[in-house]
Amino acid sequence: MHSERQVFIVDDDADVRDSLRALLESAKFNVADYGSARAFLAAAPLHGGCLIADIRMPDMDGLELQEELMTRGSGLPVIIVTGHGDVPLAVRAMKAGAVDFIEKPYDDELLLASVSRALAAGAVRQNFVMVDPAVMELVESLTPREREVLEHLIAGRPNKVVAYELGISPRTVEIHRAHLMEKMQVRSLPELVRIALGAGINPADGS
């Protein structure tokens, strides 16, 4: 078993596990899958490879699993997968050290790229978030107002709340949000959250 190609899957849905296994094995990864977080914790090593964990599982969910791994001193990079686009959960996952947060239905190429990034991060013993200098340039290109809107968005606030707190109209927030997505070259809010947190931007009000 070569840890640089080892991927662990934890998901209570057997069909999802089978689908992920087929995708990853087609890309020449070594795969081991588990139907629960506790089964994984009982059987898998805490170092070597990376973990793909569903966020919505009975008994112990993906975030609880991630936090348990941190408590145990695990160096295993974690990718959180969910069918529920929940920005506060994305922020919590990223703050706890997740290398990525991906929404279902996921894009195959996006997932494979995320796995490669996670394995690379683990191999060089980084803190699971690899910041490209080009990303920092994108962040620096934001206007002060765009940065304010971004800080509120990654805190999980809806457009109307952001508008109220910044004293602007919801329509203006929508425009800033569109500009942010374009400037940061992302297609989804979880991707924006990952990049923003990796670049050192914190949610508004320190949340």
CA gap 184, 90 in Å, rounded: 17
Within a domain: 128:
no
> What range defines the domain where residue 15 resides?
3-123
Q: CA–CA separation, 76 vs 47, rounded Å? A: 5
The whole-angstrom separation of Cα 7 and Cα 121 is 13
Helices (H) and strands (E) in the chain, counts: 10, 5
Residues 51 and 99: beta-carbon distance below 8 Å: no
**CATH no. for residue 154?**
1.10.10.10
What is the residue type of 88? P
Q: Judge if 111 and 150 occupy the same domain.
A: no
This prediction's pTM: 0.68
Exposure letters 35-52 (e unless 16+ CB within 10 A, then b)? ebbeebbeebeeebbbbb
Q: DSSP strand E in the chain: where? A: 6-10, 30-34, 50-54, 78-82, 100-103
**What is the C-alpha to C-alpha distance for residues 156 and 94, in angstroms, rounded to an integer?**
13
Do 149 and 89 have their domain in common?
Answer: no
Residue 183's Cβ-side half-sphere holds a number of Cα atoms within 13 Å equal to 18
**pLDDT tens per residue across all 207 residues of the chain:** 455 689 999 999 999 999 999 999 999 999 999 999 999 999 877 678 899 999 889 889 888 998 888 888 777 889 988 776 667 777 777 777 788 888 888 889 989 998 998 888 766 544 444 456 777 888 889 999 999 999 998 888 888 999 999 999 999 999 999 999 999 888 877 778 778 877 778 788 744
Q: What is the DSSP letter of 30?
A: E
Total domains in the fold of the chain: 2
